[in-house]
Amino acid sequence: GTPAERIVLGGFSQGGTLSILAGLSYPKKLAGIVSISGWCAYRSQLGAKVHAANAAVKLHFSMGTGDPIVTYPLTKASSELLEGIVGDNLSSSAVERGMHQPAGMEMRVASEFIEECLP
Question: What residues are labeled active site?
Answer: 13, 67, 100
Q: What is the 3-state secondary structure (H, E, C) of 3-45?
A: CHHHCEEEEECHHHHHHHHHHHHCCCCCCEEEEECCCCCCCCC
**8: which strand partners?**
32
What SS3 class is residue 92? strand
